[in-house]
Structure 1
């Protein structure tokens, strides 16, 4: 626990010293990476695979017109 607090304190101090300019630079780099077409394509593939395995993202209409939650089983 002490290690986590120490790490958080060091990160805070270094972040405060870096200032707003460095923060903005990091955000711009992240956004340019996240918006890259190759990254978007890979994210779409991962979403599809996760959807296949978990059932999230599929719309399965029930008899009453409401979507059932694929994780929580229906109570009898």
Structure 2
């Protein structure tokens, strides 16, 4: 989901600023998204969301 949001924002900003700016935005986004600290935080967030979803499913 975050990737799609980042790609969408990058596309809109890039299309207004030109292809070179779009490429720059996407390189920056990918560098941030691929950073180990960001990957770790995303994994923790996914686990927490999975726990919450699991709780709701069990309650039904």
Question: The TM-score by the shorter chain falls in which range?
Answer: 0.5 to 0.7
Q: 4+ residue stretches of structure 1 with deviation over 6 A?
A: none
Asked which structure has the greater RCO (Cα within 8 Å, sep 6+), the reply is 2
Structure 1 residues not aligned, in runs of 5+:
1-10, 56-69
Task: Specify the alignment match of 1:39 in structure 2.
Answer: 38
TM-score w.r.t. length of structure 2: 0.65
TM-score w.r.t. length of structure 1: 0.52
When Rg is computed on C-alpha atoms for both structures, the one with the higher figure is 1
Q: CA deviation at 1:32?
A: 0.2
Aligned length: 44
Aligned residues: CA RMSD: 2.1
Task: Specify the alignment match of 2:20 in structure 1.
Answer: 21
